């Protein structure tokens, strides 16, 4: 069975959403994610809320290339979050034919977080989307296990988990821990690499995660162990921001190299 490999928006964030579609197609990806809501204040801003001209152009390129949007991001669930404020981005996701909503659990109050998550699931379902949680080690829900407990608190069976290898490793995750979770939670996964040594401070952790990762197989993360713990053949979204390399190597060439390295890695796993 052919393993599907896509590209996450953080990998080529210098591009607009329509150009991300074109880049993913030219590189030979099977799908891609699109960032409709910026994660940081210094990211590029695009008109991606609702059925906008830019969203329609991205949708046109998707039709022309035959690619599909796997997920849209990033939907933060924080103490002050108003889920209704996300409707414009969800509408855009529907126009793009997206499948998943990537949500970031960032609230220490499990009951409140579960309630907001349930609200997001209900709203997303109106647009034909399902929600997946991605924990990060510097926020209130740092591990896959903690995120799974939030899912359980919702009482819903339509939620998933997305594992990011860097976040998973930096939070102390193990392949055995992944294998112990409900495999139905894992509908797709991200892939990247990083140095084996974990950062000792938050600033370095954030910088590495957001700007300086390594291509799969070039670092020291236990990617083979992680992939073997996940459901067989799971689709992979390459999230590999490389800000330094991006100054000299165009996005298309970076993604092509990532795909080659990923396929080589998978040859030793699949």
- Give tens-digit pLDDT for 187-232: 999 999 999 999 999 999 999 999 999 999 999 999 999 999 999 9
DSSP states of 211-252: HB-B-TTSS-S-HHHHHHHSPTT--EEE---BHHHHTTS-HH
Specify whether the CB–CB gap between 239 and 192 falls below 8 A: yes
Residue 41 has a pLDDT of 84
Measured CA to CA, the distance from residue 34 to residue 8 in angstroms comes to 7
Query: Percentage of the chain with pLDDT > 70?
Result: 100
φ, ψ dihedrals at 100, nearest 5°:
-120, 150
95 has a pLDDT exceeding 70:
yes
Mean pLDDT computed over 79-105: 98
Give how far Cα 234 sits from Cα of 30, 59, 187, 269, Å: 13, 25, 7, 12
Mean pLDDT computed over 3-20: 97
pTM score, whole prediction: 0.95
Mean pLDDT computed over 7-20: 98
Mean pLDDT computed over 167-179: 98
Span 5-267: which CATH code?
A: 3.20.20.150
Measured CA to CA, the distance from residue 40 to residue 242 in angstroms comes to 16
- Which band of pLDDT confidence, cut at 50, 70 and 90, is reported for residue 1? low
Q: Where are the beta strands (DSSP E) in the chain?
A: 5-7, 31-35, 68-77, 100-105, 130-133, 159-161, 189-191, 236-238
Query: Percentage of the chain with pLDDT > 90?
Result: 96
What residue segments make up the domains of the chain, in order of their start?
A: 5-267
């Amino acid at each position: 069975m052919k393993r599907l490999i896509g590209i996450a928006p953080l990998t080529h964030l210098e591009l607009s959403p329509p150009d991300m579609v074109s880049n993913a197609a030219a590189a030979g990806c099977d799908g891609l994610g699109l960032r409709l809501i910026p994660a940081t204040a210094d990211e590029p801003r695009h008109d991606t809320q609702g059925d906008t001209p830019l969203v329609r152009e991205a949708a046109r390129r998707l039709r022309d290339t035959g690619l599909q949007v796997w997920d849209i991001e990033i939907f933060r669930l924080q103490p002050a979050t108003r889920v209704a404020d996300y409707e414009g981005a969800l509408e855009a996701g529907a126009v793009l034919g997206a499948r998943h909503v990537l949500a970031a659990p960032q609230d220490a109050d499990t009951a409140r977080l579960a309630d907001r998550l349930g609200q997001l699931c209900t709203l997303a379902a109106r647009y034909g989307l399902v929600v997946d949680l991605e924990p990060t080690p510097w926020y209130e829900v740092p591990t896959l296990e903690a995120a799974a407990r939030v899912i359980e608190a919702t009482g819903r069976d339509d939620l998933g988990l997305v594992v990011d290898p860097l976040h998973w490793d930096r939070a102390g995750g193990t392949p055995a821990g992944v294998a112990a979770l409900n495999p139905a939670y894992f509908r797709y996964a991200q892939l990247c690499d990083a140095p084996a040594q974990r950062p000792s401070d938050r600033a370095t952790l954030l910088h590495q995660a957001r700007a300086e990762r390594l291509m799969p197989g070039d670092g020291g993360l236990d990617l083979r162990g992680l992939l073997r713990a996940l459901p067989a053949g799971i689709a992979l979204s390459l999230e590999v921001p490389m800000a330094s390399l991006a100054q000299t190597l165009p996005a298309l060439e970076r993604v092509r190299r990532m795909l080659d390295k990923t396929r080589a890695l998978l040859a030793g796993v699949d």
